[in-house]
Amino acid sequence: MAVGILLVGGFGTRLKPLTSESPKPMLPVAGLPVTEHQILAAQKAGIHTLVLATSYLSEVFTPYFGDGSRWGMKILYAVEKAPLGTGGAIRNAAQMLNLENLGDEPIVVFNGDVLSRHSIADQINFHQSKKADATLHLIEVEDARAFGCVPTDSDGRVTAFLEKMDNPITNSINAGCYVFQSSVLNRIPLGEVVSIERETFPALVESGRPVYGYKEQAYWLDVGTPAALFKGSRDLIADDFHAMPGCAIDASATITGKSSLGSNVTIGADVQIDDCIIGDNVTIGDGARLSHCFIFHNTVISAGVSQSRHYLSSAISEPINLP
């Protein structure tokens, strides 16, 4: 059994314009918000209480996830008036978990923009077997130059946190899922902007505390950019497309490229859709052609519209180019 904190309060600037109306973790991949995929993984690992650490567009989360009973867990919400950074957000959210009563029960923290099939339960077991203060999921990437890297010794103990460099000494990078002892979170200052990656972890290692790296190479993707979000959605779809319940698709429409349709989407006659992410309650008029487009929830696309690589939403008058 464990409790969890899901970090979902960032601005998601690299994902603009997709994050102009939705926080990054609520963007749909294969019909469900990124956050929901993570909640399903947390549920599998036996997490019974989860705090969503929100800030940017915080009001979007509660109507969707409610008290968490649909997922068989208790979901609570911590709101930062202004973003406190990853460490500050964890400390703020931890207040809702009654740290003093947790004892040895581990706290699992998730970056809210990661799709990972690694075993959280095995990460928790590893953490407990090492009697660690903190254990990070580490993933090996082919080219670590774009990331900070995390070297470990032969026992898996983290020896340093290194910033991006041209010749990384290891290809192991922080995969954004951590297991903590509650005593560690208690030491993060409350109400201050703190980075868990740049401040808390390096300080723990420098002071000789036991910080471990749990290495697992299961499917992992950071959906922090538009290209990665589309890839994440495609990776979850086995057929030409995936449609959530309530969709009405005209028999003459062609849907390809592992497109994803949210719930209650209506697709008209002779529509062609390729490699698109379509939100809930979208209507696409007859003869429209859409390729590599992101269509926000509740949008109506007129008949005959032809668009490629654009963000389309009822809230904007002109489609915006996707980078």
Nearer to ligand GTP by Cβ, of 116 and 259: the residue is 116
Residues 6+ apart with CB under 8 A from 61: 8, 23, 26, 35, 52, 54, 77
* Residue from 2, 3, 10, 174 in contact with ligand GTP (CB under 6 A): 10
Nearer to ligand GTP by Cβ, of 11 and 71: the residue is 11
Per CB under 6 A, does 96 bind ligand GTP?
Answer: no
C-alpha count within 13 angstroms, C-beta hemisphere, residue 305: 20
In the complex, least distance from residue 58 CB atom to ligand GTP, rounded to whole angstroms:
9
Cβ-contact 56, 11 below 8 angstroms: yes
Binding mask 216-245 for ligand GTP (x = CB under 6 A): --------x---------------------
* Residue from 3, 4, 18, 25 in contact with ligand GTP (CB under 6 A): 25
* Residue from 38, 86, 233, 259 in contact with ligand GTP (CB under 6 A): 86
Per CB under 6 A, does 85 bind ligand GTP?
Answer: yes
Nearer to ligand GTP by Cβ, of 14 and 48: the residue is 14
Angle at 118 between CA 153 and CA 197, to 5 degrees: 55
Is residue 49 helix, strand or coil?
strand
* Residue from 28, 31, 112, 268 in contact with ligand GTP (CB under 6 A): 112
Per CB under 6 A, does 262 bind ligand GTP?
Answer: no
CA proximity to 229, closest of 260, 254, 267, 256: 260
In the complex, least distance from residue 190 CB atom to ligand GTP, rounded to whole angstroms:
14
Per CB under 6 A, does 151 bind ligand GTP?
Answer: no
Helices 120-129 and 34-44: crossing angle, nearest 10°?
A: 50
Residue type at 108 in one-letter notation: V
Peptide bond into 17 cis (omega under 30): yes
Nearer to ligand GTP by Cβ, of 26 and 290: the residue is 26
Which range touches ligand GTP (CB under 6 A), out of 38-46, 66-74, 83-91, 307-315?
83-91
In the complex, least distance from residue 25 CB atom to ligand GTP, rounded to whole angstroms:
6
Nearer to ligand GTP by Cβ, of 60 and 261: the residue is 60
In the complex, least distance from residue 286 CB atom to ligand GTP, rounded to whole angstroms:
37
DSSP summary character for residue 65: H
Backbone angles phi, psi at 204, to 5 degrees: -60, -45
Nearer to ligand GTP by Cβ, of 170 and 195: the residue is 195
Per CB under 6 A, does 148 bind ligand GTP?
Answer: no
Binding mask 35-74 for ligand GTP (x = CB under 6 A): ------------------xxx-------------------
Alpha carbon separation from 35 to 24, 112, 174, 279 (Å, rounded): 9, 6, 19, 15
Nearer to ligand GTP by Cβ, of 184 and 265: the residue is 184
What the block records as the tokens of 60 is 């979007």
Q: Which H or E run includes 169?
A: none
CA dihedral 158, 164, 165, 171 (to 10 degrees): 50
Name the residues annotated as catalytic.
Answer: 164
Q: DSSP per residue over 279-303, as a string?
A: -SS-EE-TT-EEES-EE-TT-EEPT
Binding site for ligand GTP (CB under 6 A): 7-15, 24-25, 53-55, 80, 83-86, 89, 111-113, 224
